[in-house]
Structure 1
Amino acid sequence: QEILHKNSHSPGIRRVIVEHVIYMMECNPGNANCFNKYWMMEALLMVERTTSRAENYRFFSGDTGLMEHSIPLSALVARAKELMGRG
């Protein structure tokens, strides 16, 4: 859960984790039980509350975001919550 706290030095790390969580639950729905056991829903809710605009960009030039992701982090969090049965 600690890794999902907002980190301004690597804004894409939470996106990668949420994408992997989604992939793992789509491949094996039973993983949702494990994630629920280890507080993933609480981590997802925290990401949902603290998402920054920077997390929607693929690349940066200084402080300027370049090339926006086609799917916002908020939509990924919503999908993960849905797969966990609480979306």
Structure 2
Amino acid sequence: MGGVQGVTRNISATGIYFETEVAHEPGSRVNFTVEVHIRGEKLKLVCEGEVVRVGCYDGVLGMATKLLSSFFSDAAEIVDVNSRSLAARQIH
């Protein structure tokens, strides 16, 4: 997310909760990638989300986002994460 790394703690079909070092205001849109391993293959889940909750728990900043769009990309592929590229490749 903008060069800032985080750790995914919970993921579902509609949202992602992760710990990160940078907070965004609830209601703001964020673009980020999540590295996932599926059947031994490393992929990137490229996402656009809306921040629904931000909190600090035990000194760790956490952020919950509602997924607005997402698609899988080969991990070696360089992805320009912006709303136009996400809208063009959105998976439903």
Q: Normalising by the residue count of structure 2, what TM-score does the alignment of the two structures yield? A: 0.24
Which one has more relative contact order, counting CA pairs under 8 Å at least 6 apart? 1
Q: Normalising by the residue count of structure 1, what TM-score does the alignment of the two structures yield? A: 0.25
1 or 2, which has the higher strand percentage? 2
1 or 2, which has the higher helix percentage? 1
